[in-house]
Amino acid sequence: DVDYIDTWNAMEELVKLGLVRSIGLSNFNMEQIQRIIQCSSYKPVVNQVEIWPGFLQKDLVDYCRYNGIIVTAHSPLGQPNREDHSPIYFFSEGMKRLTKKYKKSAAQIVLRYLVDYGVVPIPKAANPVHIKQNLNIFDFKLDDADTRALRGVNPKSRIVKYETVRDHPFYPFERDDEINEKIDEELPAEDLKDENKEDDVEEEEDN
């Protein structure tokens, strides 16, 4: 197996040759990032990882911020699915209340929240209407109470686990996902701290 340090050094050569402007990482954990920083001449500009309200990875985000590394959030909505109403927060009565209050879609609410959290969300969307909506999130701001409500979404386990490379020596994720899943089962269903019963958000997003 090729050490990712060797790959990074090859990418650094491209920077030195002026063939690329910036180089970054995807799905690297803190230990791997630290090793990159210690063993190379160029610090990563960005680290793209899974982040959504139920999986904020605060320690990793804080670490990247401390080291001047931009965090890009893939799967920023938690991959909503209307059929099984998952993740619960996205289809909750609490989220429906926010969409009415701000006159924005659930996706726009979440994307605005993540921008304020300090990451760069990159939602997947094929619908032109959703693509336009995803960009239209800078004409409003969540108040402190609603920000706290989103921050209070119950922690969930990772969605994108790349199981096919789970046995790779440089697999970046924790190998005890089963423990996290057990925690999920024990936690009550959240509704953004709203006391009303759940209801559907009348929209569907891609990712």
User: Is residue 113 one of the residues assigned to a domain?
Assistant: yes
User: Is residue 83 one of the residues assigned to a domain?
Assistant: yes
User: Is residue 194 one of the residues assigned to a domain?
Assistant: no
User: Is residue 58 one of the residues assigned to a domain?
Assistant: yes
Largest CA distance in the chain: 59
User: Is residue 206 one of the residues assigned to a domain?
Assistant: no
Question: Which of 192, 189, 117 lies closest to 150, judged by CA?
Answer: 192
The single-letter code of the amino acid at 50 is E
Predicted confidence at residue 143, as pLDDT, reads 97
DSSP 68: T
Residues facing residue 26 across a β-bridge: 48
For 4-35, letters b (16+ CB in 10 Å) and e give beeebeebeeeeeeeeeeebebeebbbebbeb
Predicted confidence at residue 206, as pLDDT, reads 60
Predicted confidence at residue 178, as pLDDT, reads 47
**CATH number of the structural domain spanning residue 166:** 3.20.20.100
User: Is residue 200 one of the residues assigned to a domain?
Assistant: no
Question: Which structural domain, as residue segments, surrounds residue 111?
Answer: 4-186
Low-confidence spans in the chain with pLDDT less than 50: 178-179, 182, 186, 195-204
User: Is residue 75 one of the residues assigned to a domain?
Assistant: yes
User: Is residue 195 one of the residues assigned to a domain?
Assistant: no
Size of the chain in residues:
207
Counted domains in the chain: 1
**Per-residue pLDDT tens digits for 86-132:** 999 999 999 999 999 999 999 999 999 999 999 999 999 889 999 99
**Would you say 158 and 122 are in contact if contact means Cβ atoms under 8 Å apart?**
no
